Every structure is written in C-alpha cells, then in structure tokens.
Amino acid sequence: MNYVDEVLAKVQVKNASEPEFLQAVEEVLESIRPVVDANEDLYRREAILERITEPDRQIKFRVAWVDDSGQVQVNTGYRVQFNNAIGPYKGGLRLHPSVYIGIIKFLGFEQIFKNSLTGLPIGGGKGGSDFDPKGKSDREIMAFCQSFMTELSKYIGADIDVPAGDIGTGAREIGYMFGQYKRIKNSYEGVLTGKGLTFGGSLARTEATGYGLLYITEELIKSHGQDMKGKICVVSGSGNVAIYAIQKAQQLGAKVVTCSDSTGWIYDPDGIDVALLQEVKEVKRARLTEYAAARPGAEYHEGRGVWAIKCDIALPCATQNELMIEDAKTLVANGVTAVCEGANMPTTLEATRYLQDNGVLFIPGKASNAGGVATSALEMSQNSERLSWTFEEVDTMLNRIMVDIYHNIDDAAKRYGKDGDYVAGANIAGFEKVAEAMIAQGVC
C-alpha cells in the first residue's frame, strides 16, 4: 500500500472518535502526496508521517473553580504539545463548550503547518477547556482562568510552550492567566501572547489575524489582475478575527455586507458599521439583535445564512465546518471569485473541493489566518528584547509576512504541478520545512 494510505488507515483506527482531527489529517496528507511520493523511502524509514500525526504529548487536567453562588464547578482543561521541531510550541487556548481532545488535536495539528508557513521559529500546540465564558461574571472568569493556569503553568514557559488567545479567550482572559502564571512562578516572562499593552503585549496583535487575512486576500486578488476596491465581501462571525477583517476590507475599499454570531446574522447593504459592531460585541458583549436595533437599514436573521448573499469574496471567520457543500454551491452560483479562511477549517472538505473544482480561488486558514500567530511571534521577540515596536512597524512586518506566505504557497503548488491549488501549496510548504527539521534532529 502507498505510504500515505497506510498512515491514513492507521490514524483512522487510532483516533476513530475524533472526526475533526481525522478531517485535518486527511486534508494535509492527501495534499502532500506528491512530496511524500518523491521521498517515500526516506520518509517511510524515518516514520515521518506517523511521528507528525502523533502529538509529542497531550495534557488533560481538572479545572475546579467557585461560581458566584458559592458552588464549585468542574471543567476539563487540555494542552496538546504537538510538534516542536522548528521552535517552542505555540498556539491558542479555546474556551467553548464544544471543546474536547479531538478539537484540540485538530487545531494543534493545523498549527504545526501554519506556524511553519510564517517563516518564524515556532512549533505547533493548542489548548483550551470546555468552560463556557458566556454569561459569566468577571469574577467567575478570573476564578476559572486562575485555576486553569495553576495547572497549565507546570507545562509551559517562554522557551517551552507559549499559549495565546482563541475562541472565548481574549485580552481579559489572557490578563488573568498571565497574572496567575507570574504569581506561581515568580517570573516575568513572555509566556503568553495577546497580553495587554501595559504588560508586554504587542501593538497590532489584536488586529493581526483579521488584517493579515485581508493582506493575503489582497495579494491573491492582485496576482489575478484584480483590485479589492468595490468588491462585495461576506464575512461570518463577529469576534476578534471577523471585526478586524471587516475593518481592513473596508480600508482597502471593499464593502462588507454581513457578519454573524452563534445565534443569527446581519445583512447590512450599506456596509457593516465597524464602530457599532465593536460597541455591541467588544464592549457590551451583546447579541447582534442590538446591532440591527441601532441600524435601521440592516436586517437581522436567526440561524445561519451569510453565504446566500451574492458576493465577490467570502471570508469565513467564525468556527470550523461552518461553510458546507450547499453553501459552496450557492456561492458559486452567485459568482464568487475568492474564498479565504479567517477561521480554522471553516470549510468542509467537500465544500473546499467543490469551490476549487469550480475555479474559485481558495486560501486555507493555515495560510490566510497565520497573521495572528505571526504577530504573536513578533510579541515574543519584543518580550525577549524588552522593547516595544510601533503599530506601523508591526503592521508592516505583518503585511510582508502575509505577502510572502502567498508567494510561498503559490510557488510550492507550482513546483508540484498543482498551479492555483493553495491548499496543496500551504500543506506542502508547511510540511517540507518541519519534515527536514525532524529528520535533522534524529529519532525523537
């Protein structure tokens, strides 16, 4: 049997109850087939695919905390340290009730290739908890974060593993976790990124994932002889990635007409009012119904539906598997030109294939949302230097990194006769570097 098929079969048996992880492994291994075929003897002898699909370690722990009524609550915490061949483990912490080991493994696996693509020295990891921050008081959030960090602090460090934010983990949560780490270790180090600006955070980190998504989208569009000006965009989500994607798209002259959250979505034909969206989501932490109430021209709909709006560019920025085959068909029927992922794996495999087969330019999240982790790595550099760079300096580096990622994945796809297949290009470019480092470092 072919080496890729052999390893896929083993991974499927071993991780049968983790569909998201299997989906991510299948996508990566399928698209690096040409590289593996060209190096089959070496990779097989080195068991590169078996090693890269097995985390270095998985940590699972109890998180007990006291709610406002005095009741003790118990959640489960996770940290998967997947691969540190090219640098310390790096990846966010997701706080959401859907979190279980399969979600954290899928995200940690993706992170290996994404971090490699940034060109910066960072390995892949991910963590989180099934804790739901929604509806909790600030005191309850702090109690959870302190308990979570009390255990996590045993396994992380500025040169070991540097977590960051993700769904449900924003500046507030990172602040509480950093405070607890410092207290336990008596050490002021860059152990987390996404920190507040008064204690080691980087300017432009908040904006980085959304801005980076638009920088790579702009480069893609320009490379195909087009311009962002006047393009109609649909965006899903209304969190950190979505908000700054909308803001940058508008700065580049596009019009964004939708956003969404886990209960409904907005269609605003005049273009999303970013300041109002920030007020509703970042300040009040409220539902999108409040956006519609304050904006007479906007419509609010329950459920999901942003992909039904006619657009040139679609930017899924909420969560995994939110753009399915029927959505892909609607987008194609409506003449979409490009789909670039802001979230991690928001497009199902079937939908991805349909979009690519129908000539839609498609950039996968591991390339197009890498601006967040790239800027986190810039935060690590600033912490090591004990310096802070200006917003413009960081933003300029971010822009350069995203433009480089585009050309890197484009070149990798072309080298293997897959011109325009940016999924293959991203996986190949990300994989080659990690595999080479693993082989150079011997069996471990």
Q: How far is the CB of 323 from ligand NDP (least distance, A)?
A: 11
The residue among 371 and 425 lying less far from ligand NDP, judged by its C-beta, is 371
Determine contact, residues 394/202, Cβ cutoff 8 Å: yes
Residue 418 known to be catalytic:
no
- Residues in contact with ligand NDP by CB under 6 A are 165-168, 209, 237-242, 261-263, 317-319, 342-344, 369, 372
- Options 114, 126, 255, 281, the catalytic residue: 126
The residue among 331 and 343 lying less far from ligand NDP, judged by its C-beta, is 343
Q: Please count the other Cβ atoms lying within 10 Å of the Cβ belonging to residue 359.
A: 11
The residue among 87 and 170 lying less far from ligand NDP, judged by its C-beta, is 170
Which residue minimizes CB distance to ligand NDP? 239
The residue among 3 and 79 lying less far from ligand NDP, judged by its C-beta, is 79
Tell me if residue 378 falls in helix, strand or coil: helix
Q: How far is the CB of 240 from ligand NDP (least distance, A)?
A: 4
Q: Please count the other Cβ atoms lying within 10 Å of the Cβ belonging to residue 360.
A: 18
DSSP 229-253: TT-EEEEE--SHHHHHHHHHHHHTT
Which residues on adjacent β-strands are paired with residue 140? none
Q: Please count the other Cβ atoms lying within 10 Å of the Cβ belonging to residue 252.
A: 17
Residue 85: DSSP 8-state = S
Q: How far is the CB of 79 from ligand NDP (least distance, A)?
A: 15
* Cα-based distances in Å from 222 to 217, 339, 406: 8, 15, 11
Q: How far is the CB of 95 from ligand NDP (least distance, A)?
A: 8
The residue among 90 and 231 lying less far from ligand NDP, judged by its C-beta, is 90
The residue among 7 and 168 lying less far from ligand NDP, judged by its C-beta, is 168
Determine contact, residues 250/230, Cβ cutoff 8 Å: no
The residue among 317 and 405 lying less far from ligand NDP, judged by its C-beta, is 317
Tell me if residue 304 falls in helix, strand or coil: coil
Q: How far is the CB of 297 from ligand NDP (least distance, A)?
A: 21
The residue among 87 and 346 lying less far from ligand NDP, judged by its C-beta, is 346
Contacts of 432 (CB under 8 A, 6+ apart): 35, 412
Q: How far is the CB of 257 from ligand NDP (least distance, A)?
A: 16
Closest CA to 97 of 134, 127, 148, 60: 134
Closest CA to 335 of 315, 317, 316, 309: 309
Which amino acid type is present at position 134?
K
Distance separating alpha carbons of residues 370 and 210, to the nearest angstrom: 10
Instruction: Output the six-digit token pair for 158.
Output: 């500025």
Instruction: Output the six-digit token pair for 179.
Output: 């405070």
Instruction: Output the six-digit token pair for 214.
Output: 């638009």
Closest CA to 255 of 281, 238, 225, 234: 234
Q: How far is the CB of 42 from ligand NDP (least distance, A)?
A: 32
Distance separating alpha carbons of residues 251 and 108, to the nearest angstrom: 32
Q: Please count the other Cβ atoms lying within 10 Å of the Cβ belonging to residue 169.
A: 27
Could you tell me where the beta strands, DSSP code E, fall in 96-231? Answer: 123-129, 161-164
Q: How far is the CB of 263 from ligand NDP (least distance, A)?
A: 6
Distance separating alpha carbons of residues 376 and 56, to the nearest angstrom: 22
Residues forming the active site: 126
